Amino acid sequence: MRSMLSISILLACMQASFAQPPDTLWTRTYGGIEADRCWSVQQTSDGGYILGGGTWSFGVGDGDFWLVKTDADGDSLWSRAFGGGDWDECFCVRQTSDGGYALAGFTTVVGPGALDF
């Protein structure tokens, strides 16, 4: 009985700790009226963030790579869409040592196959 009581108290404490909302410094949304997705986030050397994903709201195709650069508070500093006339999407972005960005994703526009990276 005593071990059962200990387990019940432990579970109650665990549930209470999970019920608390997480600490949030800021919340922002980015995008337009169509489907826009973020797949990768990295803090940059200036304390801001680089977000990489795909956009159907901006760019020239049915979906394009989309980068959003923010400051430390999440305010958008700039955004860029890259792609062709069909579907392209970025799944990973990393800041390089020279301050630029390396992107990885797929394209249906360039290359010999239906989907190339």
pLDDT greater than 60 at residue 35:
yes
Is the predicted pLDDT of residue 43 greater than 50, yes or no?
Answer: yes
Partners of 87 in beta bridges:
63
Report the pLDDT value the prediction gives residue 83, as an integer from 0 to 100: 86
Output the CA–CA distances (angstroms, integers) from residue 105 to 3, 22, 89, 102, in the order listed: 53, 31, 5, 10
**pLDDT band of 95, cuts 50, 70, 90:** very high
> Cβ neighbours of residue 41 under 8 Å, at least 6 residues apart?
49, 50, 51, 52
Q: Which has more pLDDT, 64 or 61?
A: 64
User: Torsions phi, psi of 3, nearest 5?
Assistant: -70, -35
More confident residue, 92 or 86: 92
The pLDDT assigned to 117 comes to: 83
pLDDT confidence of residue 81: 95
